[in-house]
Amino acid sequence: MKGFPGLENGYTLKRYLGKGGCGLVLSVARVSDGKEFAVKVIPKQKISTASSRRALVREVQILMDCDHDGVVGFHDLIEDSKYVYIVLELISGGDLYSALKDRKEGLCEAEALIVAHKMLASLVYLHKRGIAHRDIKLENVMLANGNLDSVKLIDFGLAHRASDLTFRDNCTDFCGTIQYCAPEICSKKPYNPAHVDMWCLGVLLYALLARKLPFPHADRRLLVKDIVHKQVEFSDPVWDSVTPQMKELISTLLSKQGSQRPDAAAALKKVEHIISSTDIWTDSASEVSNDDSAAEDVVRCEGVKKQHNLFDMVVDAIAVKLASN
């Protein structure tokens, strides 16, 4: 493969997918069977320091150790004189940022719950293994087949692995995307990276529903001030058709104190409870029946609920879990 000698023997170039902070992302086909993969091409000059090499090794080790349908799959690591190539599962459905950008409004609650359930299942898996992502955002959540029930976490370049699986060895480095940074990071305090993941998920869910970030300042100083001190608000009309339970979940995820946020397992149970509480949807419809636009939102949510069998699957899973206790 011209320009990328490390890939020449095993892969053929299909197309360029984009350019990230570390280098190019390519789509390639494996010569042996034609299967397509995504490849992160990292110039060695970008990993010339000991710390950058350690970060790359950590990312690869984490990806190699993960086997979950909510986490991008790892396939191969290749090196030549100029580049390091990380061969990954090809996810062709686009990211959540693009999906949201293409819409005139945010997701309805049913759609957001589908995303929340899948992402929390992934976080339960990761956190149990002492892995925190630390950069959860719309751009780092991909749709494997274009559907919301197929979301996968990508880009583990900032991921942290706890030495004792409990995250007691708090982090001190400033990392992540500023709009998603937790208050403890903005305050330059030692932090539990699992708590940070839960904050980021709260920001993401808020953005999915409102189609804007909870703290949308362009000015970095004001943004940090709001993240640290300002409580999240649900005053926009878009929140009128969102259940109190969902708003409460987002509020707790966006608690200023990391220890007050639910862990992934507790948040997953909360989401399953909201999904299984079918009376919530009936109540929502009756409460907004006099508001045409809000009523349309509820009808749209009911349509999504019928289209996605994830709701039935989750309810069935909860029933089985209760029966086995």
Model confidence at 312, pLDDT cuts 50, 70, 90, reads: low
What does the alpha-carbon distance between residue 274 and residue 17 come to, in Å, rounded to a whole number?
A: 37
What does the alpha-carbon distance between residue 180 and residue 187 come to, in Å, rounded to a whole number?
A: 14
Q: Which of 18-22, 185-189, 202-206 has the lowest mean pLDDT?
A: 18-22
Are residues 24 and 100 located together in one domain of the fold? Answer: no
Which of 63, 89, 115 is the C-terminal boundary of a domain?
A: 89
Are residues 158 and 48 located together in one domain of the fold? Answer: no
Are residues 219 and 277 located together in one domain of the fold? Answer: yes
Percent of the chain, pLDDT > 70? 84
CATH value at residue 25: 3.30.200.20
Q: Is the dihedral of CA 194, 255, 111, 140 positive or negative?
A: negative
Residue 184: the pLDDT is: 96
Whether residue 325 lies inside any domain: the answer is no
| Number of domains, the chain | 2
Are residues 160 and 207 located together in one domain of the fold? Answer: yes
More confident residue, 296 or 95: 95
Are residues 311 and 222 located together in one domain of the fold? Answer: yes
Which of 45, 68, 89 is the C-terminal boundary of a domain?
A: 89
Are residues 313 and 251 located together in one domain of the fold? Answer: yes
Residue 114: the pLDDT is: 94
pTM of the entire predicted model:
0.85
Which of 89, 112, 130 is the C-terminal boundary of a domain?
A: 89
* Catalytic machinery residues: 135
Per the listing, tokens 């004792």 go with 164
CATH value at residue 178: 1.10.510.10
Print the domain residue range for 27.
5-89
CA atoms within 13 A on the CB side of 297: 27
Strands (E) in 20-166, as ranges, are 24-30, 36-43, 74-79, 83-89, 131-132, 141-143, 151-153, 160-161
